[in-house]
């Protein structure tokens, strides 16, 4: 009776140890560059009134499509390129106007490994940004506020827009 109890207990513990396993991947695993829009005079976050599209060099994909009344957007960056060139196109159908900002984001790509069961992700450390714009009366300036692009979803770049826009 005693031996039987011991064997049962051992079998239970062995099953518990061997069977107690699960796959725990991060749920919020989107790594994206966060771009926010600000009023250049009040320095407060604003919603854009125009329709926004974002494209990039080296890919046919539209990174952000038809954003209206958005305060900030998330845009993916390339895994292996040292610099990404992003183009933000603002369309106003009512006034039939188009403004464009092209940003070059120079960055270091940092692979982030989680576990054998979870997909690998790529973090980025932005080293510098530069930009050109088609119309100076729409975009005032573009500023890098946080160089780390990772899971945290923090604001990385601020685009200051003129109040009239």
Partner 1 sequence: MVKRTFAYICILLLSLTPIGSKAKEKKEPIPKAPLFCGVAVFADLAGPTMKAVGARFDQLEVGARLNFRDHFFPLCELGIGESDREGQENQNKFHTRAPYFRVGMDYNFNKKHNGNRFMGGLRYGFSSFKYDFEDPAFTDPIWPSTGSFKFNNQQGQAHWLEFSLGCETKIWSFIRLGWNLRFKARLKQNISDYGEPYYIPGYGKKGSSTFGGTVNLIFDVSRTTKKKKNNTINIENILKHE
- Contacting partner 1 (CB under 8 A), which of 45, 82, 108, 114? 114
21 binds partner 1 (CB under 8 A): yes
Q: Which residue number, 55 or 133, has a Cβ lying nearer to partner 1?
A: 55
d(CA 98, CA 85) in angstroms, rounded, equals 19
Degrees (nearest 5) of the Cα angle 33, 58, 131? 55
Alpha carbon 77 to chain centroid, angstroms: 7
Task: Enumerate residues 34-63 that contact partner 1 by CB under 8 A.
Answer: 56, 58-59, 61, 63
Nearest distance, CB of residue 18 and partner 1, angstroms: 5
Total length of the chain: 165
Task: Enumerate residues 120-159 that contact partner 1 by CB under 8 A.
Answer: 120, 122
SS3 assignment, position 73 = strand
93 binds partner 1 (CB under 8 A): no
Give the count of residues interacting with partner 1 (CB under 8 A).
Answer: 34
Could you count the other beta carbons within 10 Å of the beta carbon of residue 92?
15
d(CA 42, CA 68) in angstroms, rounded, equals 21
112 binds partner 1 (CB under 8 A): yes
164 binds partner 1 (CB under 8 A): no
163 binds partner 1 (CB under 8 A): no
| Burial of residue 123, with CB atoms counted within 10 A of its CB: 0-12 exposed, 13-18 middle, 19 or more buried | middle
What pairing do the DSSP bridges indicate for beta strands 62-67 and 33-39? Answer: unpaired
Nearest distance, CB of residue 54 and partner 1, angstroms: 12
108 binds partner 1 (CB under 8 A): no
Interface residue list for partner 1 (CB under 8 A): 2, 6, 9-10, 13-14, 16-18, 20-21, 24, 56, 58-59, 61, 63, 76, 78-81, 110-120, 122
């Amino acid at each position: 009776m005693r031996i039987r109890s011991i064997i049962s207990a051992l079998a239970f513990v062995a099953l518990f140890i061997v069977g107690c396993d699960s796959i725990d991947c991060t749920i919020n695993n989107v790594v994206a560059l966060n771009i926010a829009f600000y009023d250049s005079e009040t320095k407060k976050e604003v919603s854009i009134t125009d329709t926004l599209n974002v494209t990039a060099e080296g890919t046919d994909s539209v990174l952000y499509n038809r954003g209206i009344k958005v305060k900030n957007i998330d845009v993916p960056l390339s895994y292996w390129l040292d610099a990404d060139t992003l183009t933000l196109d603002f369309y106003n159908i009512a006034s039939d106007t188009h403004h464009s900002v092209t940003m070059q984001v120079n960055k270091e790509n940092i692979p982030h490994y989680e576990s054998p069961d979870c997909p690998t992700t790529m973090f980025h450390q932005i080293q510098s940004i530069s930009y050109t714009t088609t119309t100076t009366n729409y975009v005032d300036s573009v500023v890098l506020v946080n160089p780390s692009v990772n899971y945290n979803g923090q604001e990385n770049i601020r685009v200051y827009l003129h109040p009239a826009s």
